[in-house]
Structure 1
């Protein structure tokens, strides 16, 4: 995680406790919003490429993830989105671009609609426009399993997470980085909020709020992502949005192709007034 060492760590006061963030300090601000069940450290490998483009990456842990305090209730996407203006206020930002991956794309969408005066541009990495049958299949496969997830003797639960992430990565992610994924996931388990993120995401109807975005927006996807078809659907719904599809990869495209991912964002923001 050497790329993350250049980032300043800090906390701000949120409505349910403290919110942990990482800040690149210099450049055009871009707030990054992570997928479930990860943390701000999902973006470790894109911090440096973004900074090389003159972009100031800022990444937060949602309440209940990483080093942020949990909510006292089961949160929805709107509750995660409400942290965005709080982060901007704490860092002295009147307006900035925001971008998210998977769950983070939903949070970015919601924040753009709720706080249009604060959000100047939007990057949607993996929109979630699916049929009700697809939604239910994901709930049955992922959410039901996460609700039953618990600590096991010999840290067997950690091995389960590692095995699942290795299966998703198809051998493209190093064992060390898989270990990072496990650490990030276990932070949510320690808060007792392990299933909250996917629950919020699977409950979100993005087909409604996608049409309400007024800011310049980039749909950023990759052909190997499980949500690639969803991204194509989102682009058909909003042909006015910029669209970039990286070749291959999977749900870990931020680690699999960090330079290409950062380049796509930089190219998009170059055409959007700061």
Structure 2
């Protein structure tokens, strides 16, 4: 597993931590909640091999980035993107995101069209209101109530949940890394911020507003796979690629296919 060069940029809520591949055509990668830039560990090398410069940031309150003082919106998270590009001296870059990160990518592309040349949406979130409310009642409520427990029982809870999602397709060592990433967000006080912002974000209008070349990158085993199909129905002009199987951990389950699908798309984009 290749490790990129670390760096920090001054962002809207303090310092933003990032990993930078240093060479190639720049692609900013935005992680899902409640993880960090390390979600992309296993796609860094495939991107570099394809001549793409991966730049993965920790969203504010996740990983090693400073947290916002109050719960942010998706637009607040998106404000970290031009700050990161400025710090790296990059005028324009492609952007890609997974789940919550896909929403941030969508919003950043709309808010900063002069800085974003192409967009990769790894799991858009077009869902009916009843499903949205069920997710809020389940995930956000549970995350708001999350507290440290004796004998690290709270960490065991996270590990069991992630093992259930992975269904034996991800190593226990990697599951441990997922737990560490979640605990970083908990230590920052931002544990529930990402999902709360994601489920409050209504992506239909922002999706329709996108003017950059865009790829919808999904997998058939993703719990929000149907939302990707709906996004493609709304924007049939977008490129579309579905990896067979997998789940929410597709970047570890099929990293090379994920990276190659993104790289194939970017190969046809002038940026």
TM-score (norm 2): 0.99
Using the TM superposition, give the Cα deviation of residue 13 of structure 1 relative to its aligned residue in structure 2, in angstroms. Answer: 1.0
Question: What stretches of structure 1 of length at least 5 have no aligned partner?
Answer: none
Taking the aligned partners of 2:153 and 2:253, their CA distance within structure 1 comes to 27
Using the TM superposition, give the Cα deviation of residue 137 of structure 1 relative to its aligned residue in structure 2, in angstroms. Answer: 1.0
Using the TM superposition, give the Cα deviation of residue 195 of structure 1 relative to its aligned residue in structure 2, in angstroms. Answer: 0.2
Instruction: For residue 178 of structure 1, give the secondary structure of its aligned residue in structure 2.
Output: helix
Using the TM superposition, give the Cα deviation of residue 183 of structure 1 relative to its aligned residue in structure 2, in angstroms. Answer: 0.3
Deviations 1:103-162 (A, max 9, x none): 000000000000001000000000000000010111111111000001111111000000
- In the TM superposition, structure 1's runs of 4+ consecutive aligned residues that sit over 3 Å from their partners are none
Taking the aligned partners of 2:10 and 2:122, their CA distance within structure 1 comes to 27
Residue among 174, 191, 212 paired with 2:171: 174
Deviations 1:194-228 (A, max 9, x none): 00000000000001100000000000000000110
Using the TM superposition, give the Cα deviation of residue 17 of structure 1 relative to its aligned residue in structure 2, in angstroms. Answer: 1.1
Aligned to 1:74: 71
Deviations 1:41-85 (A, max 9, x none): 000000001111000000000110010000011100000000100
Instruction: For residue 113 of structure 2, give the secondary structure of its aligned residue in structure 1.
Output: coil
Q: Does 1:147 align with 2:119?
A: no
What pairs with 1:14-163 in structure 2 (closer than 5 Å)?
14-163=11-160
Aligned to 2:209: 212
Taking the aligned partners of 1:78 and 1:22, their CA distance within structure 2 comes to 22
Residue among 7, 12, 16 paired with 2:9: 12
Q: Does 1:261 align with 2:261?
A: no
Q: Does 1:243 align with 2:234?
A: no
Taking the aligned partners of 2:123 and 2:259, their CA distance within structure 1 comes to 15
TM-score (norm 1): 0.98
| Aligned residue pairs, count | 271
Instruction: For residue 32 of structure 2, give the secondary structure of its aligned residue in structure 1.
Output: coil
Aligned to 1:185: 182
